[in-house]
Amino acid sequence: MSMRIRLLAPLSTVLLLVAAAPARADATGFLGVTPTGVTRPVQGFAVGAGVLVAGFEFEYAHTSGDVTDPANIGTELRTFMFNGLVQTPLAIAGIQPYATAGGGVYRETLSVPALSETSFGTNIGGGAKINLLGPVRLRLDYRIFNLRGTPTHATVQRFYAGVNLKF
């Protein structure tokens, strides 16, 4: 019996390594809006990797402050998030839907008066990566952020569209 285990263990390991799906990675540059409070522009990037249906990504986003609204004057928000990602293994009719959730750090800065808040935040959302040409895809994304501490808005929404490059 132990001889059989000695032969099957290395053989099983080799078969698993040969049959494993290769890791995939992608990068996205995006532009969007944050409609919380007043609608403000957001820009950023995301870099991720995954195997089959599971993956992870790092995302940075910067929401500009609004100088025209007294309630949000100069409020700018920067988020640094690490997210888990679940997606279909292949695009269906050229579209690869996904769901994501994660957490990280945010920094909100108010220019009048000069105050800032840095704390932890979480996010949940989803979207789709749509095939365009070769490795280039359009990425559409919606997120809801829950910010801890004392931010101007504890719950922030964001919509974006970006160019995604898979490699």
Going by C-beta distance under 8 Å and a sequence separation of 6 or more, which residues neighbour residue 159? 32, 33, 35, 141, 142
Whether residue 113 has pLDDT greater than 70: no
Residue 15, pLDDT score:
60
pLDDT of 19 higher than 70: no
Q: Which amino acid is at 23?
A: A
134 pairs with which residues across the strands? none
Lookup: tokens for 80: 């640094």
pLDDT at res. 92: 95
Query: What distances in angstroms separate CA 153 from CA 26, 35, 122, 124, 141, one per listed residue?
Result: 31, 11, 14, 16, 20
By the 8 A CB rule, do 24 and 48 touch?
no
Rounded CA Rg of the chain: 21
CB atoms near residue 25 (< 10 Å): 13
End-to-end distance of the chain based on CA atoms, in angstroms?
45
pLDDT for the residue 164: 98
Rounded to two decimals, the pTM is 0.83
Q: How many CB atoms lie within 10 A of CB 141?
A: 22
Q: Percentage of the chain surpassing pLDDT 90?
A: 70
Rounded mean pLDDT, 18-47:
88
Question: pLDDT tens-digit profile of 53-100?
Answer: 999 999 999 999 866 666 556 689 999 999 999 999 999 999 999 999
Give 50's pLDDT tier (boundaries 50, 70, 90): very high
Report yes or no: 87 and 72 within 8 Å, Cβ to Cβ.
no
Say whether domain 21-166 belongs to CATH 2.40.160.20: yes
- What was the pLDDT predicted at 8? 75
